Amino acid sequence: MWRNSKTKKEYVINLSKQYKFDYDPDDTTTKKSERELLQTSDFPDYYFKLALSTKNDPSIRIYNKKTGKLFQELGGPVEFFYGIDEISAGDANNDGHYEFTIFLTTYSNPMRNEYGQFLWDPAKKKFVYAGEITD
């Protein structure tokens, strides 16, 4: 049962596993498929999805909100992509352009996390990977 916190209306939900995230290239029994995980962070004009596939490396897909069309797709290491709250969006370097970070890993110290940072490149008019940062 799920309850909408604003309207208090209750909904019955059923969950089932439909996708295996592990991929073994020698496994001929696993159906090759892909899933997109909508992210909770967004920009005024764009939203994010993480694409998980049994055929290809995972990627970040950035979609235009007005058209619904794919604006840009960015690849990265497998450790980038796990859930629905992986991306944080904002102006990371105070240059007036939106950028985003994606959660990579937590160290043994729970107060230290590592993120991949993607900055807007005005000349290329796209996001580029700028490296890893820690907090």
Residues ≥6 apart with Cβ < 8 Å to 130: 99, 117, 118, 119
pLDDT of residue 116: 80
67: left (phi over 0), alpha (psi -120 to 50) or beta: alpha
**How confident is residue 92, by pLDDT bands cut at 50, 70 and 90?**
confident
Q: Residue 52 class from Cβ within 10 Å (0-12 exposed, 13-18 middle, 19+ buried)?
A: buried
Domains of the chain plus CATH, in order, are 31-134 (2.40.128)
Calculate mean pLDDT across residues 28-46.
75
3-state secondary structure of 121: strand
Q: Write the CA distances from 77 to 74, 106, 131, integer angstroms.
A: 10, 15, 12
Query: Each residue of 6-25: pLDDT tens digit?
Result: 888 887 877 665 555 554 55
Who wins on pLDDT, 84 or 90? Answer: 90
Segment 41-86, tens digit of pLDDT? 888 889 998 887 766 777 889 999 999 999 999 876 545 555 556 7
pLDDT exceeds cutoff 60 at 33 = yes
Token pair recorded at residue 51: 């694409």
As a whole number of angstroms, the distance between CA 71 and CA 56 comes to 19
- How many Å apart are CA 100 and CA 90, to the nearest integer? 6
Angle at 88 between CA 84 and CA 93, to 5 degrees: 165
pTM above 0.75, yes or no: no
Average pLDDT, the chain: 76
Q: Are 74 and 118 in contact (CB under 8 A)?
A: yes
